[in-house]
Structure 1
Amino acid sequence: MLATRIKATVLALSATLAILPALATAETIKVRYSWKLKGEYAAFYMAQEIGAYAKRGLDVSLGEGAGAQAALGALIQGQEDAAVVPAAFALTAISKGMPVKIVALYHPRAPIGVVSHASNPVATPKDLEGKKIAVSVGDTVAAYLGVICKMNEVDCNKIDRVMMDSQVRSSQFLANRVDALTTYLNVDPPLLASISKDPLVTLDFSKFGLVLPGLSIVVKDDAIAKKGKPLSDFLAALDEGVAASRKDPAAAAQAIRKAWPGSPKPDIVQAQVSATLDAIPQLPGRRAGYIEAKDLSVAIDMLKSVGELQGDKPVDAYYSNALFAR
């Protein structure tokens, strides 16, 4: 019995000693979101939960943000290794000369639009005229509202855009102080539907011509060469997080809720997780986030047509799949 215990202790000590060098040499990856925590980011925490980062020797730091511009600014200043931002903002920044690349694209077609009450619906872009729409600083949908107006012959001057803090938008909408919210359809509707007294109506802008790439990961140009191996490992780990989240959305919701003080109820977060995963295409033989040039080309052409992109850069100036090839 004593010999067995000694053997078990030696084995446990050996395992611990084997792990220590990996922990001591763990590569730090600092990631900044463009916004506050939401179910959209659950796969990042699921990857952590299942040990996908640790087994690759990564120490991943995940931080909330205050808008895409701020996240990209922190990236350029070297404060972060990667920024998780709507790809449309990255396209605009790159067209203006920002030395960054989109290295993973999870939502080639962002699920964006507005949500309104059935009693005063915004069912088509034309219905936006004469409505009070709540918007916030760093609001992706609000930033491209002019594009949807131009594409659908809507007079944007007739839309009353009410600027307010992101923390009070929902309460103002539910109190009928504004008619609609700009929104990611995978984020706000599950939350609002659980507390609204009235049925809700969602308007999906992608059905009216606005094809904007959404959830993406952006890094500095030189990081692909200087920190390519750990960044590639990070994307591989995140792919595992996406796959695990598809198999068990409830577990993914629980994983992010552990890091989310004051998070919504589990079923609401799970609904956000599921809606987010539904918008991530599954390409045969490719990891989640692999970029199809045609997806970006469509968005680039559309943004150029309405004057949102500057210059005439080729599509491969905006993205790189190099981290998937390692």
Structure 2
Amino acid sequence: MSSHLRKAALAALLVSTSAAWATDPVNVRFSWKLKGEYAHLYLAQEQGIYASKNLAVRMGEGAGAPAALGALLQGQEDVVVMPAIFAVSAIQKGMPVKIVALYHPRTPVVLISQPDKPIAQPKDLEGKTIAHSVGETGTSYLSVFCAVNGIDCAKVKKIQMDAQSRVPQFLQKQVDAVSVYRTSDLPVLEAKVGTKFPVLDLAQHGLAIPGLAAVSSNAAIAKRPDVLRRYLAAVNEGIAATRKDPKAAAAALMKTWEGSPPAEVVEAQVRATMDAVPAASGKPVGWIDAKAISQALDLLKTDEAIGTPKPVETFFTNDLLPAQ
């Protein structure tokens, strides 16, 4: 073989080898700041799970669901990690995105009250005041919660205020209750104040608000289905690893999280996040039940004018989830 042919063969070999080992970039944006809900994604990074699937995943904080979805539509992001209820609302309004995995079919949001004035059962809400801000998950659908639990909602007073004032007003006992997430707010608050607050779990009492989810654009789903499949498979492996070792997941997240809460608080967030992910039931983790979307649309009707609901299949796809 001539030197020219040898060089050409070597070049072809290098190109084919490079292509075989090329990694696909995946840009992931959270809808909010770092919190324990995202720890499994960082454990997947640390354990090389993304790399094993030829993925180079970049993750970044967000500043709300609308901004994250806007970046998704502009092609700056491939996946947004956000509460599914906001994605359902956006899709109903015409945004060309889909939920591709739903990890929390029931958002782990709770109402906390003062130990000397506990709200232990739904009926205890009657005669109480609750802090409320526009768009807040825990109290926006209070009328539905009342209906499901036989509460006279006329006897429950919602005090509207800005989001930043809710918890301080509660701690100052200006209101009797405030809604918080088990997966983020509650561990931080209890550690900071040194108090175990009475908890009323809204999901356990019938308020099924779809929460933690992965959302992608219709364009990305059409153009990069294989990449998204590998990404969702890696996430599921990260969830499995986090279930086995929540402490390691918390530590992986904290390496990126400047100014994080103490390790035990982050670990409590991680454990609460995993507790809210349903156990396997013949379907892959993240499987989306059409009923969850229908229920979300029913909830949205009680809080905003959404018009005629779009067909349920408009809102989600299970096609990208790994096979069981």
CA distance in 1, matches of 2:172, 2:227: 47
1:33 maps to: 30
Query: Are positions 1:322 and 2:319 aligned together?
Result: yes
- Residue type matched to 1:72 in 2? L
Q: What per-residue deviation string (whole Å, max 9, x for no partner) do you get for residues 238-293 of structure 1?
A: 11100000000110111111111111111111111111111111224433212222
Q: What per-residue deviation string (whole Å, max 9, x for no partner) do you get for residues 132-173 of structure 1?
A: 5164x76433544465466644249931122143xx765554
1:127 maps to: 125
Identify which range, 194-203 or 124-133, moves more after superposition. Answer: 124-133
Q: What per-residue deviation string (whole Å, max 9, x for no partner) do you get for residues 6-58 of structure 1?
A: xxxxxxxxxxx99x947983221111111111111111101101101111121
Report matched runs for 1:2-17 at 5 Å: none
Partner SS state of residue 262, structure 1: coil
Partner SS state of residue 30, structure 1: strand
Query: Are positions 1:70 and 2:67 aligned together?
Result: yes
Quick check: 1:125–1:154 contact (8 Å CA) kept in 2? no
CA distance in 2, matches of 1:23, 1:310: 49
* Residue 21 to residue 116, structure 1, CA distance change in 2 (3 Å): farther
Quick check: 1:128–1:159 contact (8 Å CA) kept in 2? no
* Residue 243 to residue 201, structure 1, CA distance change in 2 (3 Å): same
- Give 1:96 deviation, angstroms: 1.3
- Give 1:107 deviation, angstroms: 0.5
TM value normalised by structure 2? 0.83
- Residue type matched to 1:93 in 2? A
* Residue 81 to residue 171, structure 1, CA distance change in 2 (3 Å): same
Paired residues in the alignment total 306
* Residue 26 to residue 265, structure 1, CA distance change in 2 (3 Å): same
Report matched runs for 1:145-164 at 5 Å: 145=142, 147-148=144-145, 152-155=151-154, 158-164=157-163
Q: What per-residue deviation string (whole Å, max 9, x for no partner) do you get for residues 186-221 of structure 1?
A: 222222222324430122222443211100011111
Q: What per-residue deviation string (whole Å, max 9, x for no partner) do you get for residues 288-307 of structure 1?
A: 21222233333334444666
CA distance in 2, matches of 1:179, 1:144: 18
Query: Are positions 1:100 and 2:97 aligned together?
Result: yes
CA distance in 1, matches of 2:126, 2:22: 54
1:225 maps to: 222
* Residue 293 to residue 134, structure 1, CA distance change in 2 (3 Å): closer
2:265 maps to: 268
Aligned partner (choices 209, 212, 219) of residue 209 of structure 2: 212
Identify which range, 169-178 or 78-87, moves more after superposition. Answer: 169-178
TM value normalised by structure 1? 0.82
- Give 1:325 deviation, angstroms: 5.7
Query: Are positions 1:141 and 2:138 aligned together?
Result: yes
CA distance in 1, matches of 2:190, 2:103: 25
* Residue 128 to residue 107, structure 1, CA distance change in 2 (3 Å): farther
1:180 maps to: 177
1:10 maps to: none
Aligned partner (choices 26, 41, 47) of residue 44 of structure 1: 41
CA distance in 2, matches of 1:253, 1:114: 25
Identify which range, 180-189 or 261-270, moves more after superposition. Answer: 180-189
Identify which range, 236-245 or 138-147, moves more after superposition. Answer: 138-147
Query: Are positions 1:259 and 2:253 aligned together?
Result: no
CA distance in 1, matches of 2:158, 2:294: 30
Q: Identity rate of aligned residues, in percent? A: 46
CA distance in 1, matches of 2:46, 2:167: 30
2:84 maps to: 87
Quick check: 1:33–1:84 contact (8 Å CA) kept in 2? yes
Q: What per-residue deviation string (whole Å, max 9, x for no partner) do you get for residues 33-84 of structure 1?
A: 1111111111110110110111112111111112222222221222211111
- Give 1:314 deviation, angstroms: 2.1
* Residue 143 to residue 79, structure 1, CA distance change in 2 (3 Å): farther
